[in-house]
Amino acid sequence: MSDNELSFEEAMAQLEKIVEKLETGDVPLEKAIDYYQDGMKLSKLCNVKLIHVEEKMTKIMNEQGELEPFHIQEEE
C-alpha cells in the first residue's frame, strides 16, 4: 500500500509507532534516520489530508450560507 492510499487514521497509527520506536532510544543511528524520514513523510501526508478536509468543510459550510471559513483546531 502506497502512502497516498493510506487513510488519515492509518498514517497516524504508523506515525505513532515510529515515534514510540524513536522514543525508546534503543534504535541504531542509521535506522533512526530511516524512521525519522518515514515519520516526516507520514506527517506531511496527514497534514495534506487535513487541508483537504478543511477545504471540503469550508465548501459545505459555504453551501449552507455560512461565510466564515472553517479551520481545524490543532492540538498544541
pLDDT digits (tens, 9 = 90+) for 24-64: 888 899 999 999 999 999 999 999 999 998 888 888 877 76
pLDDT for the residue numbered 51: 92
pLDDT for the residue numbered 59: 81
Element (H, E) at 32: helix 29-63
All cell numbers assigned to 10: 492509518
Task: Give dist(CA 41, CA 27) in Å, integer.
Answer: 19
DSSP 19: H
Q: Is the pLDDT of residue 5 over 90?
A: no
Band of the pLDDT at 76, cuts 50, 70, 90?
A: low
Please name the residues in contact with 61: beta carbons below 8 A apart, sequence gap of 6 or more.
Answer: 68, 69, 70
Which has more pLDDT, 63 or 3? 63
Q: Which amino acid is at 12?
A: M
Radius of gyration (C-alpha) of the chain in whole angstroms: 16
